[in-house]
Amino acid sequence: MITRFKKSPFLRSEELVPVREAQKNITRFFKKGLVRVTKNGRSLGYLLSDEALADLIEDIEASNPAFIAEMEKEMKSKKRIPLDDVLKEYGIKRE
């Protein structure tokens, strides 16, 4: 049985899932982004998809004054890195 956490969710999209339900088909819950796993009504932890984690990290970085200052500095800089160099560094092939 999956229920919405109504009192004070960590995030708006959070769902509560009993640990036994999560164990049955864990990959199904990663598709939801963020799920709080519970046992006997108590929180054990979270299942967090790669996309949700990337969004969270981006939000944290974007709220960091040092990160913002560094980004502003780089945006003002005239230094540019060619796309081919970036693709090569990350092992991405052009189509």
Whether the pLDDT of residue 8 is over 90: the answer is: no
Give residue 24's pLDDT band: very low, low, confident or very high (50, 70, 90): very high
Whether the pLDDT of residue 7 is over 50: the answer is: no
Q: What is the pLDDT of residue 2?
A: 47
Question: How far apart are the C-alpha atoms of 19 and 6, rounded to whole Å?
Answer: 19
- Give φ, ψ of 4 to 5 degrees: -80, 140
Mean pLDDT of 61-70: 87
pTM above 0.75, yes or no: no
- Sorted by where each starts, the structural domains of the chain and their CATH numbers stand as 3-49 (3.40.1620)
